[in-house]
Structure 1
Amino acid sequence: MTTYDTIVIGAGMSGVTAARMLADAGADVIVLEARDRIGGRMHTDRTAGFPVDLGASWVHGIEGSALWDLVQALEIPTLEYTVGSFQAGGRPIENFDGDGRPMDAARTSQWVAEVEEADRLLVDEIERSSPGDTYLDVTERALDRTGFDPERIDEIREFFRHRVEEQCGAWIGDLDAHGLDEDAIDGDEVIFPRGYDELPRRIAAGLDIRLSQAVTRIARTDAGVTVSTENGEFSARSALVTVPLGVLKARSIDFAPPLPEAVAGPIERLGMGVFNKIFIQFPERFWNEDSYVLRALGEAGEHWHSWYDVSAVSGLPTLLTFAAGPFGRRMQELSDDEIVADVVRALRDLYPDAVGEPTAHWITRWGHDTFSNGSYSHLAVGSSHHDHDELAGPVDAVLHFAGEATWGDEPATVGAAFYSGHRAAERILGGSVDLTRFAAGIRARERTPAS
């Protein structure tokens, strides 16, 4: 049996990033991927003749972002689309009140100002919070201090709940009071008209990646590690585990000996959220040409509340909406027809007699995906930001972890996956990896004809 320098488990963004850096440094690396494709939770469907990103979609904040620097270095085209941070304002948004009536500019301006005031009070309440407080606890305290009328409080309460669902895939009462502390967006956000999975595919080009190799056991030995799959065993001096937190929480991989508390504890404490996407195409646009988002507030938006105009990707009128947290888990049990009908009904409440019959749709069910068991991690009650970074290990100097759940500064993002893969590669190599040279190496290989 061949002994490798490093076995990387998972060919998502963190896995291919680390594997590429290790291979570039001369290491003998193999990547074992359970799926029949690379990319992990970066999954682009091109069957319709244009890309539909069923997984990750955005770079969340390009200012000072090494991920954005890589995208630019690889000359990957992007479209500015700054609403992934669930903004109350700042971009053209068609707002509807709790009765489903369009809000004019004056009412929208008042709404944005009052959300900003509630957010200022919320920051103060988070700073005052005690261990065990939930995000629901601190939002209720902040709302109590606003002095707003009951109807406006209800609308902002719904806004806060949906913000947690969109950012974390979790119910607001399950998120720690500090769960959105690291959620700042610096600079514009962008999406990918050629599909986001172009990035991991180009990084992975030329690597030894074995698909359909679900890892079942990782044993630490005197010589390093032995990794077992249903198709055989692989040995190496070290291993990097980049599977999603949901897989670790499900104990789909047996670790021998068991993981120490320093790593097992964060796995237990951190949460894994569900965030599902519903893309629906229409025969013609029934919303304003310059609107980024259609948003129903209060009771009108209890379930389906925000629709994002992503028509620029396909050139066809297309809206993207989300079902996250408990609603997302309930939704993914329904049929496609039931889901589409419910979304269209909600839109017709806002745009009577204007919404045509959908011409196509795409629906995700990440909570049913056995290779992720959810969409991304969040700070559950009882966990802390330190848990994300502690999860990275290493264990016995031979077992490392990477992925969005292991990066405390901005978990639940592709950026976190990229940075954690970089960190893991540096730890395994015992030295630094220059990101500018990393990007240049990818471009150089692309210009060199295969022998």
Structure 2
Amino acid sequence: MKSKRIVIIGAGAAGIAAATRLLESGFENVLLLEAENRFGGRIHTIPFADNVVDLGAQWCHGEQGNAIYELTRDLDMLHPTDEIEGDFKCIRSNKEVVADVVIDRLRSITSNLEPTQQKGLKDYEGSLGTYLTEAFWRNLQPLTDVDRVVAREFFENCKKMFSSMDGADHLFEVSGKGQHEYLDCEGDLHLNWRDKGFRSFLCLLMKADQADAFDLGLLNEHIQYNARVEHIEWQSPTGDIRIRLWNGELILADHVICTVSLGVLKEIHQKLFIPPLPLVKCRAIDGLKLGTVDKIYLEFKEPFTPLDWPGFSLLWREEDLVELRNTGYYWLESLFSFHRVSCQPRLLQGWIIGQHARHMETLSEAEVFDALLWLFKKFFTSEVPTPVRLLRTRWYTNPNFRGSYFFRAIYTEEVKTSSSDLAIPILDEKDGRPLLQFAGEATHPHFYSTAHGAVDSGWREAQRLITHYLDHNPHLEE
């Protein structure tokens, strides 16, 4: 076990989980190849404003059955969120703040449309968008005194919010019955890390000193940064797996655990693997979908007013949308809400999805800044102070990610594939040893799109190797 050469592609949550589990189990020849100049993958905590912000994974979603919560529950690392508590205000594009009583009645409908709780979706053949649209308007019928125009604007905003939860461009590409594949962990779904950020969890896994930016704990000497893989030759006459990096370096391995983003696999798998992957694996990579969800952080000199708002949602009137779509600011249509940030009183955090998020990523910071100033003037009656700084994520344009997280699409159902097909390892035909293994949030059958799903998948693949060698060498258990 000590001498077996294990290479893990990607030092994100899945890669770190796999590596630390293997090292703690007696494997010593473990190497993580990371294309970025940092560890963490889609967990990325950076200093900003008065504290830190998370550019990627931000909350621990749930408690029961959540690996991240179970590891941290007694360490005072997680706290109930104050970021999205309470009811958001809803502002229309004519500057009207919709009355709370109206929003409460509309929210009473949408709160009962949480997709994973819809029993009617279990055998539903259509899209999630079709199902929720029909359910919303059906449940709205008894509320005869609610303005249907405002209701439509509110629901359009809710669809964007639901899309962001799935990571989809829009709900009409999301599988309806696939919602029952995803499992919510019971408990608080928005536990936050206060002033430490999600990075603190990875430091816990690595047994690293979070205060020391250069300490990697268990992974010291086991991570190679800026190591982008050109190709992986997984069938060679010698039995070695040959990994060629873009700088020409050749690395030999007995096992490879691939944890790269599904978006990267979709883009380069045909030239990354030599020979090409089996057809069932190619169909899974093609059939699974990875969407784009981006964040925008705005730092103000003083806390954003009004102070008693936890956040606000943007409702577009139809006539204003028509006008917007004929301007260079058209992408703002998919920027659906802003909210306050824990331990960051001077920040507002906005969310944008889909193709408009991908377009936003291509704009200069000045162009995004000007568009946001225009947006606030469009929606607010009072003058909004000019932000002192802007920070936005760019998960799609980064070639090492090409998106945010996986969702189960209508197309996934049509080609009859699943996360489990992506997770199946490729074994050596002679001795059955795992050659190529796949981990990451997109490979988890029930916790996809989550950091705890990524961690679980990394442990799964580490355990696969541990079990393989224990089965072949029972005396190792002694």
Q: Deviations over 1:156-186 (max 9, x none)?
A: 2431233213431422232222354426362
Q: Return the offset for 1:291.
A: 3.6
Aligned to 1:249: 266
Which stretches in structure 1 are left out of the alignment for 5+ residues? 85-89, 434-451
The two structures have a TM-score, normalised by structure 1, of: 0.84
Note if 1:395 corresponds to 2:409.
Answer: no
2:246 corresponds in structure 1 to 230
1:285 maps to what in 2?
Answer: 303
Match among 334, 338, 343 for residue 313 of structure 1: 343
The 3-state SS of whatever aligns with 1:295 is: strand
Read off the aligned partner of 1:43 and give its amino acid letter. Answer: H
Query: Could you tell me how far apart the structure 2 residues matched to 1:271 and 1:53 are?
Result: 23
What SS does the corresponding residue of 1:258 show, helix, strand or coil?
A: coil
Q: 1:408 to 1:291 in 2, by over 3 A?
A: farther
Which of 371, 375, 390 is 2:404 aligned to? 375
Give the deviation of 1:147 after TM superposition: 5.0
Q: 1:110 to 1:183 in 2, by over 3 A?
A: farther
- The structure with the largest alpha-carbon Rg is 2
Kindly tell me: are residues 335 and 169 of structure 1, through their superposed partners in 2, closer, same or farther at Cα, counting changes over 3 Å?
farther
Alignment pair present for 1:136 and 2:129: yes
1:141 maps to a residue whose letter is E
- In structure 1, what is the equivalent of residue 201 of structure 2? 199
Greater CA deviation, 59-68 or 417-426? 59-68
- Tell me, yes or no, if the aligned pair for 2:255 and 2:435 is still in contact at 8 Å: yes
Measure the CA separation in 1 of the matches of 2:281 and 2:135.
35
Paired residue secondary structure (1:305): strand
Q: Distance in 2 between matches of 1:36 and 1:333?
A: 22
Supply the distance in 1 between the matched residues of 2:446 and 2:115 (Cα, whole angstroms): 21
CA contact (8 A) 1:166 1:324 kept: no
Which one of the candidate residues 283, 289, 292 is aligned to 1:271?
289
Q: What percent identity do the matched residue pairs reach? A: 24
- Of the structure 1 ranges 296-305 and 217-226, higher mean CA displacement relative to structure 2 is found in 296-305
Confirm or deny: 8 A CA contact 1:94 1:103 kept in the other structure. yes
Q: Is the 8 A contact 1:3 1:236 kept in 2?
A: no
Change (3 A) 1:51 1:161: closer
Q: 2:335 aligns with which of 298, 304, 309?
A: 304
Q: Distance in 2 between matches of 1:162 and 1:426?
A: 36
CA–CA separation in structure 2 for the residues paired with 1:220 and 1:286 = 54
Aligned to 1:114: 109
Does residue 1:22 correspond to 2:22, yes or no?
yes
Return the alpha-carbon distance in structure 1 between the equivalents of residues 86 and 205 of structure 2: 33
SS in 2 for 1:217: strand
Q: How high is the TM-score relative to the length of structure 2?
A: 0.80
Give, in angstroms, the shift of residue 33 of structure 1: 0.9
Summarize the alignment of residues 181-196 of structure 1 with structure 2, pairs less than 5 Å apart: 181=180, 182=182, 184=184, 186-188=186-188, 189-192=190-193, 193-196=195-198
Superposed CA RMSD: 2.9
Where does residue 213 of structure 1 map in the other structure?
227
Q: Give per-residue Cα distances to partners, 1:335-365, cap 9 Å, x unaligned.
A: 2122223223333444322410101111111
Q: How many residues align?
A: 422
8 A contact 1:304–1:343 mirrored in 2: no
Distance in 1 (CA, whole Å) between partners of 2:63 and 2:376 is 32
AA in 1 matched with 2:408: L
1:224 CA displacement: 4.5
- For structure 2, the 5+ residue unaligned runs are 142-146, 207-216, 321-331, 428-433, 471-478
Give the SS at the match of 2:171: coil
- The Cα of 1:122 is off from its aligned counterpart by 9.5
Alpha-carbon distance, 1:108 to partner: 2.6
1:431 to 1:347, Cα distance in 2 relative to 1, 3 A? farther
List per-residue Cα deviations over 1:377-422 (Å, max 9, x = no partner). 1112221596112211211132100001101212111111111111
